Amino acid sequence: MTTGDDRFLSGSGFSFTGPVPLALTVAGSDSGGGAGIQADLKTFTAYGVFGTSAVTGITAQNTRGVTQVQALDPALVTAQLDAVLDDIGTHAAKTGMLANAAIIEAVAGSLERRGVTNLVVDPVMISATGHRLLDPDAVDALKKRLLPLALAATPNLPETAALIGKPVGSLLEMQQAARELFAMGCRYAIVKGGHLPVDLGEGAGELQRAREGLDGPVAIREIQAPASPEYPWSGPRTAVEGGEPAAPRAAEAVPGRWAVDVVYDGASFTLLKAPYFKTRNTHGTGCTFSAAIAAGLALGLEPIEAIVEAKRFITQAIAYSLDIGQGHGPTNHLLRFSPAPDGGERRTRGEAYGTATG
């Protein structure tokens, strides 16, 4: 009988009956493992997608902050992209920390030459603990060279403010900002609202104002709080300390408060409404969300469905985040990587991450 300890060796994880889905991350390395290429590759794995990478810089960081950053030579970044794309190729790609204008130019040139169109741009500028990860003079290069190549752009509110040149502090302003980002060339502008928990109780006045504030239809996609998940190590395995069986424990959802992202495709808005959780463990949420979109695109999902599924993925990963380190812990990237129980049927990729892949 297969046990919880040997399922990974038994072949009860993902299998491929057709071409292997491929996703590329172009980002910095996080020594703490919660963000950057480490988070991206874990997310690709959770989706059943084979991940490749081009490292743009090295960061020394942990849950408490970033202590040092070293950007790589743009020529080395280009060489990594050439090595991956000339041989393996990719079905989708995402960018994260790009550090400076020279690396942005190198990345944009490489992706443009090879016609990579399923590109998700996460315009990483400042770490969650306040360390700058993009030179101030590189914002213009990001706007002019990379955003026009993007299928989707995923800035948070501070990054959105830097891109459009003015603060964003309400749902209505998020919608207006999404229109401005779309005008910069991306096909789906996603303004993330995690920094602005919205109160949708007592008549949902702010939501109604947002729906009425701009011309064009507004749809709402609600992401439910996740149910208790299966874990790859559930069963006979025990916790590292105490000897009791390991059991997932969800963070508390704050009543009446929601994390709302605004998506604009040039014709209509979609508001992604998810629970807002009371947790400090949100390190790497932006990296994980953008990687999840890229993974969904690599699996053949339509863009809006890849975005919605990514919102569901990050919501679950935050709800069951990992309380490690002394600062802001990481989200739980492998939450939904749940092999079949002993003697059960193997899950397909679609069943494992919660949507049909076709």
159-173 tens-digit pLDDT:
999 999 999 998 999
User: Catalytic: which of 25, 285, 331, 355?
Assistant: 285
User: Catalytic: which of 32, 33, 51, 284?
Assistant: 284
Query: What tokens were used for 18?
Result: 């057709």
287 noted as active-site residue: yes
Neighbours of 167 (CB within 10 A): 12
pLDDT for 355:
36
User: Hey, CA dihedral for 160, 218, 290, 86, is it positive or negative?
Assistant: negative
pLDDT for 181:
98
User: Catalytic: which of 94, 143, 192, 273?
Assistant: 192
Query: What tokens were used for 73?
Result: 């030579």
251-283 tens-digit pLDDT:
888 888 889 999 999 999 999 999 989 888 888
pLDDT for 346:
37
CA 111 – CA 81 distance, rounded (Å): 8
User: Catalytic: which of 286, 288, 311, 329?
Assistant: 286
Q: What torsion do the CA atoms of 340, 341, 345, 350 make, to the nearest 10 degrees?
A: -30
Among 117, 133, 99, 85, residue whose Cα is nearest residue 185 = 117
CA 205 – CA 209 distance, rounded (Å): 6
Q: What is the mean pLDDT of the chain?
A: 83
Does 120 have pLDDT greater than 60?
yes
Query: What tokens were used for 259?
Result: 């994390």
pLDDT for 266:
95
CA 34 – CA 41 distance, rounded (Å): 11
| Contacts for 57 with CB less than 8 Å, ≥ 6 apart | 28, 29, 69, 70, 71, 72, 97, 99, 103, 133
Asked which of 156-165, 176-185, 258-267, 338-347 is least confident by mean pLDDT, the reply is 338-347
* 239 three-state secondary structure: coil
186 noted as active-site residue: no
62-108 tens-digit pLDDT:
989 889 999 999 999 999 999 999 999 999 999 999 999 999 999 99
User: Catalytic: which of 63, 282, 288, 331?
Assistant: 282
When pLDDT is cut at 50, 70 and 90, the band that residue 250 belongs to is confident
154 noted as active-site residue: no
22-67 tens-digit pLDDT:
999 999 999 999 999 999 999 999 999 999 999 999 999 998 988 9
Does 197 have pLDDT greater than 70?
yes
Neighbours of 114 (CB within 10 A): 16
CA 33 – CA 25 distance, rounded (Å): 15
pLDDT above 70 coverage of the chain, percent: 77
User: Catalytic: which of 96, 287, 315, 331?
Assistant: 287
Q: What is the domain partition of the chain in residue ranges?
A: 22-195+279-352
pTM: 0.86
65 noted as active-site residue: no
> Is 22-195+279-352 a CATH 3.30.365.10 domain?
no
343 noted as active-site residue: no
**C-alpha neighbours within 13 Å on the C-beta side of residue 358:** 9
